[in-house]
Amino acid sequence: ARWAGLTRASREYRSLFDAGAEDYDPPTNDFEATVVRLTSFRERNGVLDKANVVMQRVRREIIAAFLLGGVDGEVGRRCAAMAAALLLEEMFVTNELLPILSPVKASQYARFLRVLKNVPEKDAFSLRRDVKIDGCELWHRNALWLHDPSEAKRLNVEEGPRNMPARPVPGLPPRTGPRPVPEACCAVCIGIAIGGAAANGGASAA
């Protein structure tokens, strides 16, 4: 049954996005029809994990459709709750797959907060509660403060813990290896020291 489900999902996905597929039939310019078709794909193919690349693509296409006119556009405001729920799902996936302070988390969290302000309070309360699961909000918030502190301040984000690493300094990284002096423990310097000692010994013998 699982194999049959994966085969069906692959076929449906190709019909949506693969121009080389025999039954290629991409979503039309009709907003409602596009959202319904992509949402139905997610519902029918629940056998796929949320982190599956197919599910990630479909989820991002739906989010893009909801926010096509911008976060504060007419459609963006009307569909804010649904867009925020999908963004939250995206954040959970990122929290599982990427490093804890990945810069991807910074932009995701900022976008989630911008959408969240247009969500009705009843739905926003549930989203604010759920985003805390497994430290998801904690690490996204810390990533935002680390990589884009000015945006974090603009969005009035609660400041992260003080023990975060400093932001990388632009330019070449500082040298941390051994210095090329006789006292340093590296092959080049050992050669210099041995060569110098031999030369001094030869001079003394002369």
pLDDT at site 178? 59
pLDDT at site 181? 59
Q: How far, rounded to the nearest angstrom, does the alpha carbon of residue 99 sit from its chain's CA centroid? A: 9
Return d(Cα 206, Cα 23) in angstroms, integer.
Answer: 91
- Asked if residue 88 lies in contact with residue 130, where contact means CB atoms within 8 angstroms, the answer is yes
Closest among 137, 31, 47 to 88, alpha carbons compared: 137
Model confidence over 55-76: pLDDT tens digits? 999 999 999 999 989 999 999 9
- Asked if residue 103 lies in contact with residue 73, where contact means CB atoms within 8 angstroms, the answer is no
- DSSP character at residue 13: H
- This prediction's pTM: 0.74
**What is residue 22's three-state secondary structure?**
coil
Residue 51's CB: how many other CB atoms inside 10 A? 14
Degrees, nearest 5: CA angle 34-37-40 = 145
Low-confidence residues of the chain, pLDDT below 70?
1, 160-168, 174-206
Closest among 2, 55, 14, 58 to 34, alpha carbons compared: 58
**Is the Cα torsion angle 61, 63, 69, 75 positive or negative in sign?**
positive
**What is residue 147's three-state secondary structure?**
helix
pLDDT at site 158? 85
